[in-house]
Structure 1
């Protein structure tokens, strides 16, 4: 965490973004990706709680389901998020209690459970999408150096320099 008098522009570029070390390019890229992911998650936690009143892990479930209008099986959600099924069961129960998802048995498979977003969740995600996406762009812009920001702009054109460096 930055010291109180330290400004984002004073922070060094992510150490793994610098070439010339022991790591091959692929591992260096992976480390930059991990640093960026960590920065985004750290910043998103508060915004997700404020905007959606759910945990970050519950938010990830909602994001997966937002891209799957027909829903997803719980085993697939656990697989995609790399979460234990027991932990996911608790998260889904919390989301269901909040009225954000529904669960139903999969036809022909008595053990299979499919999860679908409710209309309430769709509306909440739509309303929260702008502050959430701004948070992602700002976090990525802050953690990445100029070369990484340029590469990321191919995917996210709005990734910017940290405040004060433009």
Structure 2
């Protein structure tokens, strides 16, 4: 685990500064219409809670230190791996990956698991960045661009939400009439 994930306050400062605050604007725009039971995979410090008014927010992360802060913000949290979520099928209206899918070792498996527990998945990410910035992101966060083919076989709607940020919406395969889209 990267050092930054063990220091919540430093994480939040770097998160804000690395995009000049645009990542927070992007979160606000991406989450404005989210309602119901919401799971955030890689919840970190629970920053999203400020934009999820009236939602029942659950969060999973591998960092206990980050989860403690998310819990103080009002999220219900547990330590869990994105590829093996401890929830029933269809337990959530929405599953969120807010800049977290890119740091997971197997993004495709994490996405498959999110589609199992949620009706739709929202993924907020950077647009492809110049190589030096990608290297810096890997050094600080352990992040890498979303892998090619991660959305193969899925219906994905993508839109730019603020500056260099894009929101991908993926609906659960059962809703699209294609149960085996991820196999």
User: TM range, normalised to the smaller chain?
Assistant: 0.3 to 0.5
Q: Greater share of strand residues, 1 or 2?
A: 2
Q: Greater share of helix residues, 1 or 2?
A: 1
